[in-house]
Amino acid sequence: MTKELKQYINGQWVESSDPKKLNIINPATQEVIARAAKATKEETEETIKIAKRTFESGVWSDRSPQERAAVLVQIADKLQENIDELTELEVQNNGKTRREARSDAEEAANTFRYYAGLLNIPNDQAYEASEDMQTLIVKEPIGVAGLIVPWNFPLLMSVWKIAPALAAGNSILLKPAEITPMTAVKVFELIDESDLPKGVANLLMGSGSVVGQTIAESDDVDVVSFTGSTGVGRHIMQAATGNMKKVSLELGGKSPNIIFDDADLETAVDYSLFGIFMGSGQVCSSGSRILVQEGIYDEFVEKYVEKAKGIRVGPGNDKQSQMGAIVSEKHFESILEYIRIGKEEGANLAQGGNRIKKDGLEKGFFIEPTVFTHVTSDMRIVREEIFGPVVTIQKFKNEEEAIKIANDTVFGLAGAVFSTDQNKALRVIKKVRAGITWVNAYHLTNIQAPWGGYKQSGIGRSLGTYGLGEYQETKQININLSPKPIHWFE
């Protein structure tokens, strides 16, 4: 039976006043798996007011860090108990493989647990500014946090925002991407079972131009945290100027993955496949530009193409599948269009490039792992974020040229270097203008470390202590220990 997804406002599951529903599709089969409510502008404004009232009432914002931590642990436990269901929902709604979805679900539970733990470590400071003055630096919640998430990690991106925003004591309104609300709804079902006071956490589904835009513009939202494309991020920044709300942006990337002649070839090939084909390339930090030194270029390409050809593409719920479906027809068409552009630009299509229709995959949005070689920095497939299973392999001569090509982009999200010379690897990675980087690895990261980009890949950081800071104000309290007049005007 098709599931009906309602909105969660003030602790109640409610329908939208707009009778039109959004059909939620399984991209591996094109089946309609759910129908989601579609919030109106008025409902969004009303929900923001509820969040504001709840924040001002102090039911959550005034609770001690330890009390808040206890609720976060409850939610972490509930996520943990529901990992199988969360995995299944993510596979169905997003198209990713079970292995990928399960790892996201585990990280979601761990993220709540991590922020609960962080609340038990004081992060305020006190010092003597002078003989008579004691200064305290304290952290406080900001107010109402508007959280807008994309479709590529529907569960994880929601939790990366909900957990620190609640930990800090804010009231929240989450908007998942129109096409992938299923795991967000499940998270709110679990939040509903916890001791979080009603009205602190709210969920609205609907379009970016209505719900997202209203959140970004609202004078009653104090911080907007957005993960998505650079284009929409720019729009959010402009919309947020009315009340000068704090803006936190995690945006797109076109990340370089640099392989030197002295790299361990097997390791470099292996991680470089993982770097782009994990999540079917629909990952912001994907290593979509592989740069290989000229001495091993041909050998690297030969090995890489052979392995890319062997990746088994199929529905996420099939144990054999190593790479899943593309999330939607619209995005699928956009990736195929980039492949067409690459061919037209004169890049060499060394592998893939086609829709996969065989073996029962006819109805799904499946694309072959695609590799372009002999590309140049001016090509659109090298400059623009394709956000699919498409990688370019470019040749460089020396260290200096590798750094120059790596940084020749408006983005600055991620990057990697492969070399057995640790000094060189460190020298080069320090020159790569990006926020998330690796030496002899790709994609492996942890929730303790700040996540975010340089340049047009964003503003601010998720995760770690930095992630909590995105949802906090910092106040100085100066305490006069010897109160007496200072006679300034005498």
- Tell me whether residue 154 or residue 369 sits nearer to ligand NAD (CB atom): 154
Structure tokens at 275: 């770097």
Max CA pair span of the chain: 91
Residue pair 111/75 in contact by the 8 Å Cβ criterion: no
What single letter denotes the amino acid at residue 91? Answer: V
- Tell me whether residue 150 or residue 352 sits nearer to ligand NAD (CB atom): 150
> Which residue among 88, 284, 368, 385 is the active-site one?
284
Least Cα distance to 238 among 203, 264, 212, 263 occurs for 212
Distance CA 199, CA 59 (A): 10
212 binds ligand NAD (CB under 6 A): yes
Residue pair 205/8 in contact by the 8 Å Cβ criterion: no
Write phi, then psi, for 276 (nearest 5 degrees). Answer: -115, -35
The HSE-up count of residue 374 (CA atoms within 13 Å, CB side) is 10
- Tell me whether residue 392 or residue 419 sits nearer to ligand NAD (CB atom): 392
- How far, CA to CA in Å, does 92 sit from each of 118, 180, 206, 467? 33, 10, 19, 29
Give the x/- contact pattern for ligand NAD in 273-292, rule: CB under 6 A.
-----------x--------
Lateral strand order in the sheet of 22-26: 3-5, 31-36, 22-26
Least distance between ligand NAD and beta carbon 104 (Å): 12
- Tell me whether residue 260 or residue 387 sits nearer to ligand NAD (CB atom): 387
250 belongs to the catalytic site:
yes
**Triad 108, 78, 147: Cα angle to 5°:** 45
> Which residue among 88, 90, 100, 250 is the active-site one?
250
Q: Which stretch, 86-94, 210-218, 295-303, 467-475, contacts ligand NAD (CB under 6 A)?
A: 210-218
Among positions 449-468, residues that touch ligand NAD (CB under 6 A) are 453, 457-458
Count of residues in contact with ligand NAD, rule CB under 6 A: 32
39 binds ligand NAD (CB under 6 A): no
DSSP state of 307: H
| Residues linked to residue 202 through DSSP beta bridges, in sequence order | 173
387 binds ligand NAD (CB under 6 A): yes
409 binds ligand NAD (CB under 6 A): no
401 belongs to the catalytic site:
no
- Tell me whether residue 92 or residue 419 sits nearer to ligand NAD (CB atom): 92
Least distance between ligand NAD and beta carbon 258 (Å): 20
Give the x/- contact pattern for ligand NAD in 165-204, rule: CB under 6 A.
----------x-xx--------------------------
Among positions 239-268, residues that touch ligand NAD (CB under 6 A) are 250-253
Q: Which residues are the active-site residues?
A: 250, 284
